Each structure stands twice: as C-alpha cells, then as structure tokens.
Amino acid sequence: MEKVTSAPVATETTAIAAPNAVAAPKLNATFARQYRNKTSGNMVFVYNVRGNEAGISDYQKSKGDYFRRDKDTNEVLLFSGRFEGESLPMRKSSKNEWVLDTTKIDQLSSLEQQYGIDVAKTVVSKETVVAE
C-alpha cells in the first residue's frame, strides 16, 4: 500500500506565508513641533510620521492633496488640532483615513472619570511593568 501525504495546512499556531507577501501598513507618529495658526489663532501640533513602505504609501494616498513633507528634513507630516502625546501608533479610521490611535489615552481618561486619578495611575504602572 502506498503512503499518502498531504500539503501543510495553516492552523492557529502556524501560518503559511505567500512567497511575495506584502507587509501590512504600519505607522507611528512622533511629536515634532507646534505653532499658532495665523488666521484662526488655534494651536497646530505637528507630528513626524514613520512606518514601513506600505504604510507611508497608503498614508500618502489617503491624504491626497493634503499630504505634506517637511521641506528641510523630508519627514512625512501629520497636523492635528490636539496634542495627543509624544509618540503613538496610528490606525485607519472608519472613514479609511489614517489617524492618531488614542485608544490607550481614551481608556485611561475613562478610568480616571469613573474611579479617579489614583486608579488610572495604578493601571498605567501595572501595564508598564507587564510591558517590560
């Protein structure tokens, strides 16, 4: 009797990568500077956007005519009306636009509102210890 073998099958613990697989878009933003808009008087916070090629390409496509690079450093830029932190990841919104991912900030704000600053600080310190 002849032995029959089967091809490998992807499972939860193993995955078979396509030979020419393209990396998923991934972006992070780092605070660069701020300025006051001359017309409105509002603060504008500028972030440098860094990531893999797929992420930068997708970001450029999603920004269209609003895509900007720093004229001196050639860094990809993101402009925001809010300061969201020194460094944070970016994600796609429900409108398929790249935005600063404020999930952690929003969660901590909710904890503080519900239980006070001491609980929020405790959660942050425990998450920091676990992450290290």
Q: What is the pLDDT of residues 87-112, one digit of tens each?
A: 999 999 999 999 999 988 888 888 88
35 and 78 in a single domain? The answer is yes
pLDDT of residue 122: 84
**6 within some domain:** no
Its pTM stands at 0.72
34 and 83 in a single domain? The answer is yes
For residues 27 and 48, the answer to whether their CB atoms sit within 8 Å is: no
92 and 106 in a single domain? The answer is no
pLDDT of residue 119: 83
Which regions of the chain are under pLDDT 50? Answer: 13-14, 130-132
- How many structural domains is the chain composed of? 2
Reading across the β-sheet that carries 43-51, which strands appear in turn? 68-69, 76-80, 43-51, 27-36, 87-92, 98-100
Q: Is 110 left (phi over 0), alpha (psi -120 to 50) or beta?
A: alpha
pLDDT of residue 4: 53
Domain that holds residue 93: 24-100
95 and 31 in a single domain? The answer is yes
pLDDT of residue 31: 98
35 and 92 in a single domain? The answer is yes
28 and 65 in a single domain? The answer is yes
| CATH code at position 90 | 3.30.780
**121 within some domain:** yes
Checking DSSP bridges between strand 87-92 and strand 27-36, what pairing results, if any? antiparallel
pLDDT of residue 32: 98
123 and 79 in a single domain? The answer is no
